[in-house]
Structure 1
Amino acid sequence: MNKTLMVSALSAALLLAGCQSVNTTSGGAVGVERKQYMFSMLSTDQVNQMYAQSYQKTMGEASAQGALDKTSNDAKRIQVIADRLIAQAPVFRPDSAQWNWEVNLIKSDELNANCGPGGKIMFYTGLIDQLKLTDAEIAAIMGHEIAHALREHGREAMSKAYGIEMAKQGAGALFGLGQDSLALADTVANYGMTLPNSRGNENEADLIGLELAARAGYDPNAAITLWNKMAKASEGAPPEFMSTHPSSGSRIASLQAAIPKVMPLYQQAKK
């Protein structure tokens, strides 16, 4: 075994040694069942508290700049949509009913939205204005972001990054590798492990978000019109192989395949 492969093997061994296998959510109708590996020393509460501090700082800065929208019709829209989605979150994760959920609208042309650990939601006006989103399309985006929080994808990424860094330092000392070799090992780890898993996380968020929106009474077909709009707005994006996000075509195909699984939930919610 050459030195680079030994680094990769040691990285995997150290990562698994400090990790515990967890199932953060139920699978739901869409069947997201993947086991996740989290560093035991990095707890859910710790990550939630760290992110809450960062979120409050961001909201404070936005407020100081006059960019925090609390009163517009769009601000009221996203609050109503968020409330309906949050009410369905315990279906996947019962303890989320005790989270201190927050939702805020930021005045920005950026096409972005986020739900951080512990249920801290940010939505940007650029998404609503530039893509002319319907309520169901907003629910598709927000459901996707909430799914990331429910699945603890942030904590999972932090655990992975911590394990890689720990392994790199230990392996570098053990094998006497130079910086060039370590840089190569980093690249291999990044494209060989981190990015495929990140694309997998995006797919999980798509599927759980689709079900959350359907259970909240929003037409799941809106996810298709949303991503068609996003594809047009993001022409020239990097190819799927080099991106943490699936290509629009593969994303839409995955969503279309899952819609029949959640359509009965939407029809029941409408009643």
Structure 2
Amino acid sequence: MSTQPIGIFDSGIGGTSIFKEIKALLPHEHTLYLADSFNAPYGNKSKDEIIALSIKNTKLLISKDCKLIVVACNTATTNAIKELRDLFDIPFVGIEPAIKPAALSTQTKAIGILATKGTLSSELFHKSVDLYSENIKVIEQVGNGIVSLIEEGRTLSEDMKSLLQIYLKPMLEANIDYLVLGCTHYPYLMPLLLEILPEHVKIIDSGQAVARQTKAVLVQNQLLNEQTSTVKNEFYTNGTVAILKAILDAPYDVNYLKF
């Protein structure tokens, strides 16, 4: 048993979608979340930049005595998690687009993937596509501008709706029946996606799978917290505190921290 916190970091506020899934599955765990909003989005940065930012975030979480680190960012996982595991002696849980369940379930033999440039251009992403997409049409779309709008608090704005209509059009023309969300910011787009997409198109994100994997790694390393005393969930951002508070929509402790 361990009462140390689970560390979670993202290129901003999007990884809170992962935090919420972890919280639902592991309510007794203490957590510490880093929103690196000052450097968002990661998706347009080089691999070396993404690795450097991920190392910086990891060092900060380790300095705060975290027992496990969830890389709640598709771009950071697909570009940096190997380097993180090589450098640090702490368990990591990563996240990548849920291509496998979409590819195995599609009836139209066409799936769409909406993700950042950094994720779609990564070696890990291409390995997953090659592994699971034989005889399936995969329509990839870079979500330019989406993360920035969410980080500005304009998640459900008309500008966002217009962007999504443009990005989803070629997918619908290809008759997709599954849309894979390849960025942890994107689940917050669900109201707009449900408005734009036909009812038969199913939307898949990785949140619940990441929560299950987090629990499995804690169990494997004998790190589960089984105490039921008051749980502490801390949030730090180098961006706008009010925007992080708004997306959490709960009375959590949110602090500004320059990092």
> What is the TM-score when the length of structure 1 is the normalising length?
0.25
Structure 1 or 2: larger strand share? 2
Larger relative contact order (CA 8 Å, sep ≥ 6): 2
Higher gyration radius (CA) = 1
